[in-house]
Structure 1
Amino acid sequence: MAPVTGGARDAVAGVAAAEVVAPSTAGEVAEVLRSTRGSVVPVGAGTKTGWAAPPSSCDLLLRTSGLDRIVEHVPGDLIAVAEAGVPLNALQRRLAEHGQMLALDPPEEGATLGGIVGANASGPRRLRYGTVRDLLIGVRVVLADGTDARAGGKVVKNVAGYDLGKLYTGAHGALGVVVSTVWRLHPLPKATGAVVVPVADGAQAGRLAALVARSTLTPTAVELRFHDGARELVLLFESIEASVRAQSAEAVRLLGGGERASAPPAWFGRRPEGPLVLRLAYAPAALPHILAALPGGACGTASACTGVAYAAVPEETDLAALRAAIAPYDGSAVLVASREPRDAADHWGPTADSFGLMTRVKDQFDPARRLSPGRLLGGL
């Protein structure tokens, strides 16, 4: 395995790598970790490196793009096994040939399965299908000392051993290198429809979202867009044709209006762009309060029934004040993009009560603290 180079791409969140490698097997990943004494930062396609704080050092950038094999697809069991470097869109094309899909829809073009796990990335369809933690049923990882570890299996219900899949989801490579994944699949929907409802303000958006949440409707997603003072709520329905028609009609009646469409608007599922972009999490019922706390000029989207939003805010936004304003609503604000890299405290915000447990987990899996050092909450 020879070192690779990629020019300006050989950096993570502004921190240049001294060396770059792209192993093509789990064994090569293990050998890299056993033979390297310095810091190692694993990345996939690099589409979400800004989702974690900059590493304190990067002696070796380990790209998982060489781990690019779809190992197995069992349509009858609705499962697929694929290596970490497989792009999500490549897996979706393969599954679509059998009328199936992996029900994750992060919008980053070229995102790989390992990167999606590491960043815990999902999209609007999380309302119906859940997130990475719900759909990942098995994982193979290489630990910091080169140990090959596996958890879960090729069945939807598996209770044997520790659930490493959940532990590695959102870990940004700080606990080990994900080399292979096992996924629960779903059938592709036969029909799609949307209802678009203009809303006057955050309070009305909250009321309409609450109506949907308490109803018998089963939308795949309920997304709110706020931009330049305009707001619109979109309900996405995916099912058989008769169900999509009936639910769309009921949604218009329930919400007191709305325009029916065969597909959601072009902005649906996209992240906002700007010099400072935040991922907000909060109690779903607090949507109006979260929108009111955002500074003037903020724009973005909110998954109105799940309590997740992405907002582009002015670069001069006082993050500490914003975090304090949304904290009473179980709110948090994490950077996912910024013009200049921020330190861990500014990136993640205050440490949580669980920080002690997180520290012990990090020390158990990576006692030398050389995997993605400094990227997690509190500089872990």
Structure 2
Amino acid sequence: MQAVDALAKVCADVRPGEPEEGVLGVAPRWVAAPADASEAAEVMRVAAEHGLAVVPRGGETRLDWGLPPRRCDLLVDTRRLDRVVEHAAGDLVVTAQAGLPMRRLAETVAERGQRLSLDVPLPGSTVGGTIATGAAGPLRLLYGAPRDLVIGITIVRADGRTARSGGKVVKNVAGYDLGRLLCGSYGTLGLIVEATFRLHPLPSACAYVTSPVADAGAACEAVQAILHSPVVPSALQCWTSSGQSLALGVLLEGVPDGVAARAARVADLLGSRASIKEQAPEGWGAYPDGTTLIEVSAPPASLTDLLGALPPEATAVWSAAGHGHVGLPAQMSAGDVARALEKLRGALAPHHGGAVVCYAPEGVREAIDLWGPVPALSLMRRVKDQFDPDHRLSPGRFAGGI
């Protein structure tokens, strides 16, 4: 039996792939959209029997991140897996399918006064895609990244078998490492079909305290002052705008009286130009503009070096959680990008930080090392061999050609 016939036998929505559906230019032979987890498992089983290379697709918001797959025989579209499976509001836990947009998940849990404390800066992002890329915004400072909020996960392995870890209550940590392992795996270890998250109550009040800062040194001093004060920010962000001007923003959450007092304290620390508002400043939590996007891991002590290493054309957003993004404009040549990337990595290396290119134009991508040094690469390859011995899941998309 031909592969496409076998796929059609187990999944009602199977069709030939279109060139415009290509993953960084690699067009799929077929596209399958399973309707539930069991159908997804059958699709993966057939793919294994026929030796098909599989690439998962959610909302396509980050499908251009990473490297092109070496081949893409089957694109598995998860957008029909779009249900909230269970919202146990009393336990502050929600279980959702991988294709559910994060916006709909937020709306569902907000009805019970709760939230998944994970701000995702791209509209249309899905549960599975957010986990697979490990995406997080400025709330990461207080609440962590997806790997800190996922307490259970269901995946379909490369051979079509379903695997589950974790549980439906926050205190259940059985198999928790599998959930962490899948976060940031770029679809190379398994097809995520369902995830369980811990939730937090919606705060009754919030305030954003923002202020321009004179230079990198002043920004670093202000960050240290806030982090060593008792105000407990939910998020602290530094960003550059055109002309390399700098600004700081601090998000405070809680009860009205407490938020007001803490906001006043932060405003005192930031100086006379600080302002306090209930609404987020423009661009809060968004990726910086640019045709090349670089994710940086940069702890607070490295902020001065990070800002000093930016080329004049760059824009940047950095969170005190130690992560941020740098945007480089289209007019920068591949050589310019390579030199900027080398300078960033050199500035961050003494702080045990690094820089990874999320996406870039094809000509730039071919001229640079997207991932940079990866100390755990040999371990990652062993994990890949165990989960996907034939290397059929998103082959070549991840660091070291994994």
Q: TM-score range by the shorter chain?
A: over 0.9
Match of 2:322 among 294, 307, 314: 307
Cα distance in 2 for partners of 1:78, 1:21 equals 34
Q: Contact 1:344–1:375 at 8 Å: present in 2 too?
A: no
Cα distance in 1 for partners of 2:203, 2:20 equals 38
* Residue 267 of structure 1, CA deviation: 1.1
Instruction: Indicate the SS of the match to 2:211.
Output: strand
Q: Which deviates further from its counterpart, 337-346 or 268-277?
A: 337-346
Match of 1:346 among 358, 369, 380: 369
* Residue 285 of structure 1, CA deviation: 1.0
* Residue 47 of structure 1, CA deviation: 0.3
Query: For residue 41 of structure 1, what is the aligned residue in structure 2?
Result: 55
CA 1:4–1:344: 2 relative to 1, 3 Å: farther
Q: Contact 2:17–2:30 at 8 Å: present in 1 too?
A: no
Query: For residue 117 of structure 1, what is the aligned residue in structure 2?
Result: 131
* Residue 6 of structure 1, CA deviation: 7.1
Instruction: Indicate the SS of the match to 1:204.
Output: helix
Q: Contact 1:10–1:20 at 8 Å: present in 2 too?
A: no
Match of 2:24 among 10, 13, 18: 13
CA 1:237–1:18: 2 relative to 1, 3 Å: same
Q: Contact 1:15–1:57 at 8 Å: present in 2 too?
A: yes
Instruction: Indicate the SS of the match to 1:194.
Output: strand
> Quick check: 1:269 aligned with 2:313?
no
Q: Which runs of 5+ in 1 are unaligned?
A: none
Q: Which deviates further from its counterpart, 138-147 or 156-165?
A: 156-165
Amino acid of the residue matched to residue 347 of structure 1? L
Amino acid of the residue matched to residue 342 of structure 2? A
Cα distance in 2 for partners of 1:209, 1:330 equals 19
Query: For residue 178 of structure 2, what is the aligned residue in structure 1?
Result: 164
Amino acid of the residue matched to residue 300 of structure 1? A
Instruction: Indicate the SS of the match to 1:95.
Output: helix
* Residue 7 of structure 1, CA deviation: 4.2
Cα root mean square deviation, aligned: 1.6
Query: For residue 131 of structure 1, what is the aligned residue in structure 2?
Result: 145
* Residue 4 of structure 1, CA deviation: 4.0
Q: Contact 1:320–1:349 at 8 Å: present in 2 too?
A: no
CA 1:345–1:153: 2 relative to 1, 3 Å: farther
Instruction: Indicate the SS of the match to 1:346.
Output: coil
Query: For residue 80 of structure 1, what is the aligned residue in structure 2?
Result: 94
* Residue 45 of structure 1, CA deviation: 0.7
> Quick check: 1:255 aligned with 2:270?
yes
Amino acid of the residue matched to residue 25 of structure 2? G
Q: Contact 2:66–2:359 at 8 Å: present in 1 too?
A: no
Query: For residue 348 of structure 2, what is the aligned residue in structure 1?
Result: 326
Aligned length: 378
Cα distance in 2 for partners of 1:164, 1:344 equals 34
* Residue 28 of structure 1, CA deviation: 1.5
Q: Contact 2:207–2:276 at 8 Å: present in 1 too?
A: yes
Match of 1:230 among 224, 229, 245: 245
Cα distance in 2 for partners of 1:7, 1:230 equals 44
Cα distance in 2 for partners of 1:5, 1:222 equals 46
Q: Contact 2:152–2:176 at 8 Å: present in 1 too?
A: no
Cα distance in 2 for partners of 1:162, 1:189 equals 27
Q: Which runs of 5+ in 2 are unaligned?
A: 1-11
Q: Which deviates further from its counterpart, 7-16 or 171-180?
A: 7-16
Q: Contact 2:52–2:74 at 8 Å: present in 1 too?
A: yes
* Residue 43 of structure 1, CA deviation: 1.7
Instruction: Indicate the SS of the match to 1:216.
Output: coil
CA 1:66–1:364: 2 relative to 1, 3 Å: same
Match of 1:214 among 228, 231, 236: 228
> Quick check: 1:91 aligned with 2:113?
no
Amino acid of the residue matched to residue 326 of structure 1? L
Q: TM-score, normalised by structure 1?
A: 0.96
Match of 2:204 among 190, 193, 202: 190
1:341-364 Cα shifts (integer Å, max 9, x gaps) = 7259722122x2211110100000
1:60-119 Cα shifts (integer Å, max 9, x gaps) = 111111111111001111001110011110011111111111111111111000000000
* Residue 18 of structure 1, CA deviation: 1.5
1:154-188 Cα shifts (integer Å, max 9, x gaps) = 11022323521000000011000010000100111
Cα distance in 2 for partners of 1:337, 1:353 equals 22
Query: For residue 278 of structure 1, what is the aligned residue in structure 2?
Result: 294
Query: For residue 148 of structure 1, what is the aligned residue in structure 2?
Result: 162
Query: For residue 242 of structure 1, what is the aligned residue in structure 2?
Result: 257
1:253-300 Cα shifts (integer Å, max 9, x gaps) = 223331111222111111112121111112221111011111121112
Runs (4+) of structure 1 exceeding 6 A deviation are: none
CA 1:9–1:99: 2 relative to 1, 3 Å: farther
* Residue 339 of structure 1, CA deviation: 2.1
Match of 2:394 among 358, 372, 378: 372
* Residue 134 of structure 1, CA deviation: 0.9
Query: For residue 178 of structure 1, what is the aligned residue in structure 2?
Result: 192
> Quick check: 1:204 aligned with 2:218?
yes
1:176-217 Cα shifts (integer Å, max 9, x gaps) = 001000010011111121111110111111110011111101
* Residue 13 of structure 1, CA deviation: 2.2
